């Protein structure tokens, strides 16, 4: 049992992490053929409950991609259940302080490192009997930095034992900056926050990750040093390209007439 993505991230290499919002094992399998390195089932903004998340995690395992999950909130029961269902990494939203980060990391780790409850029903089936022994070191723990409060507390958050990295929620961070600086140059403030975050994270030998609304932005982020690179979602890809294709067809309809 080896989390290949974690290894590569530790070596400083970038990772393409697909983002799943469609509640379907079928589209998860489609995405799993697209040569991402990892896929994240998003239970926060994805249209996905646990019953469907399980099918999606199974579908990801038809490939050798690393299955991950974003939980809806920093709740031990959600974190533990997705780990039991086989997720090899957890992205936790709205981690704004060292305490919240500790609580998140503890939910991911068996004692003595944390308070995770034993019962890795699918994880053990999938990853083998050594799962119990290796889970603490192999599971990726990523805290989301998406408020100005989190940015202010970043150093303390990065100090939490067992935290592997951070994951920036660009949309929320921008909103949060705007709320604090109603008259500021938001894009500039955001950019300098993004730079500062990646720098501090690298300094602490943690992994910097980020979600971006488009491939273009994702590339910019990779060039800033972000390693765990996500952009759009299965839903957004389908939405954008189906609209584009229909518009194109419709314009030929008009030309013809």
- CA 67, chain centre distance (Å): 10
Q: Is 162 in the site for a copy of itself (CB under 8 A)?
A: no
Selected catalytic residue, list 10, 45, 75, 98: 45
Of the candidate spans 97-105, 135-143, 160-168, 249-257, the one that interacts with a copy of itself by CB under 8 A turns out to be 249-257
Of 34 and 196, the one with the shorter C-beta distance to a copy of itself is 34
Site for a copy of itself in 195-234 (CB under 8 A): 215, 218-219, 222-223, 229, 231-234
Of the candidate spans 52-60, 158-166, 188-196, 199-207, the one that interacts with a copy of itself by CB under 8 A turns out to be 52-60
Query: For the purposes of burial, counting CB atoms within 10 Å of the CB of 113, is it exposed (0-12), middle (13-18) or buried (19 or more)?
Result: middle
Q: Is 122 in the site for a copy of itself (CB under 8 A)?
A: yes
Minimal distance, residue 11 CB to a copy of itself, in Å = 11
Binds a copy of itself by CB under 8 A, chosen from 4, 24, 136, 186:
24
Q: Is 22 in the site for a copy of itself (CB under 8 A)?
A: yes
Rounded CA-CA distance 63/58 in Å is: 10
Rounded CA-CA distance 110/11 in Å is: 25
Minimal distance, residue 151 CB to a copy of itself, in Å = 14
Minimal distance, residue 37 CB to a copy of itself, in Å = 9
Q: End-to-end CA distance of the chain, in Å?
A: 61
State the DSSP H helix or E strand holding residue 160, giving kind and residue range, or none if neither.
Answer: none
Nearest-CA neighbor of 139 among 197, 220, 85? 85
Task: Classify residue 256 by its DSSP letter.
Answer: H
Q: Is 26 in the site for a copy of itself (CB under 8 A)?
A: yes
DSSP tally for the chain: helices H, then strands E:
13, 8
Active site residue 45: yes
Q: Residue 170: phi, psi to the nearest 5?
A: -60, -45
Binds a copy of itself by CB under 8 A, chosen from 10, 45, 98, 134:
45
Site for a copy of itself in 53-112 (CB under 8 A): 54-55, 58-59, 61-62, 72-73, 75-78, 80-81, 84-85, 93-94, 110-112
State the DSSP H helix or E strand holding residue 211, giving kind and residue range, or none if neither.
Answer: strand 207-212
Q: Residue 107: phi, psi to the nearest 5?
A: -65, -25
Binds a copy of itself by CB under 8 A, chosen from 3, 38, 41, 52:
52
Nearest-CA neighbor of 187 among 174, 199, 176, 196? 174
Of 23 and 165, the one with the shorter C-beta distance to a copy of itself is 23
């Amino acid at each position: 049992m080896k989390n290949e993505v974690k290894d590569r991230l530790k070596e400083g290499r970038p990772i393409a992490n697909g983002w799943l919002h469609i509640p379907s094992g079928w589209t998860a399998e489609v995405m799993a053929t697209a040569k991402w390195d990892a896929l994240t089932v998003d239970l926060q903004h994805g249209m996905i409950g646990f019953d469907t998340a399980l099918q999606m995690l199974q579908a990801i395992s038809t490939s050798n991609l690393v299955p991950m999950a974003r939980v809806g909130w920093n709740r031990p029961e959600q974190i533990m259940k997705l780990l039991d269902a086989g997720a090899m990494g957890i992205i936790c939203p709205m981690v704004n302080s060292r305490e919240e980060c500790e609580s998140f990391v503890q939910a991911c780790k068996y004692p003595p490192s944390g308070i995770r409850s034993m019962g890795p029903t699918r994880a053990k089936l999938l990853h083998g009997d050594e799962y119990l022994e290796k889970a603490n070191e192999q599971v990726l723990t990523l805290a989301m930095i998406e408020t100005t409060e989190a940015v202010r507390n970043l150093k303390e958050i990065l100090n939490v034992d067992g935290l592997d990295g951070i994951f920036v929620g660009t949309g929320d961070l921008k909103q949060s900056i705007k709320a604090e600086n109603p008259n500021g140059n938001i894009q500039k403030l955001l950019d300098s926050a993004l730079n500062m975050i990646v720098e501090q994270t690298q300094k602490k030998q943690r992994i910097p990750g980020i979600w971006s609304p488009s491939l273009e932005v994702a590339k910019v982020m990779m060039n800033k040093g972000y390693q765990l690179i996500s952009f759009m979602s299965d839903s957004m890809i389908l939405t954008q390209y189906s609209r584009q294709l229909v518009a194109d067809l419709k314009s030929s309809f008009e030309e013809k007439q």
